[in-house]
Chains A and B, each alone.
Chain A
Amino acid sequence: MPIIVNLDIMLVKRGMKSKELAEIIGITTANLSILKSGRAKAIRFSTLEAICKALDCQPSDILEYVEDLG
């Protein structure tokens, strides 16, 4: 998928665990795992806002566009 979610990188930078982030933003660890693995089809603005607030970052720090060469 051309949109890459760099959540793992931000979690390491902020020294936060996935479970902790999931609790803060109010989603299940399973859903957070889906987001991290790139299997998510879409993300709500409210979820993106909550992640940026929790990790003190910008959407561009989490979402990256890579041209699909396939």
Chain B
Amino acid sequence: MNSARTLYVILNVIIFLILASIGIGIFVLSMRLFDVEQNFIFIDEDVLTYKTEAMLYGFTFFKLVIYAVFVAALWKLRKATKLLLNNDFHNTKLIMKMFSSGKFMVFSSVALWFVDEIGYMFYKRQVVLGLSEKTLVYLSVIAMGLFLMLMSTVLRDTKVIKEENDLTI
């Protein structure tokens, strides 16, 4: 199954890049917390102005948790794709991992979207109307998550049909 193998490779690359960027972000944030000066990694300051520093770190930490949930979703999808590579379509693990991956994706996208909108509304005093690129990304991830949940339901139903067929003498 070439498409499953390609997806597996792409997922591995994406997960690695996300983990690496989060790792670098945590490293740089730690350096700032301890007032360590550095100029080898450029930091892009967010224009949102939080009222207190606690709010800034709170929102950042909350976003980090949501990123972790998204990485968990990609990790589960990677494991599910590995099972697909073995042509084991009726495996209970595959069905469960696909479903939970979809669930995590929907949750992380909705949560991040919500956090962003709260930030824009209360700290920047701006309400964005219409579809921005960010909104399209959030909607795409939500759609992908829902599709994964749907596919897991389909695989579960086909598993039931197969089991019944196997017990047809």
A contacts, CB < 8 Å to B = 27, 31-32, 34-35, 39-44, 47
Q: Which of B105-113, B114-122, B161-169 lies at the interface?
A: B161-169
Q: How far is the CA of A32 from the CA of B169 in the complex (A)?
A: 8
Report Cα–Cα, A35/B169, bound state, in Å: 7
Interface residues on B, range: under 10
Tell me whether B168 and A44 are in contact (CB under 8 A).
Answer: yes
Chain B residues within CB distance 8 Å of chain A: 164, 167-169
Q: Complex: how many Å from CA A56 to CA B168? A: 22
Residues of A within 8 A of B169 (CB): 27, 31-32, 34-35, 40, 42-44, 47
Q: Chain B residue with minimal CB distance to A39?
A: B167
Q: How far is the CA of A40 from the CA of B168 in the complex (A)?
A: 6
The distance in angstroms between the C-alpha atoms of A42 and B168, with both chains bound, is 5
A31 to B164, CA, bound (A): 13
User: Of A27, A32, A42, which one neighbours B167 at CB under 8 angstroms?
Assistant: A42
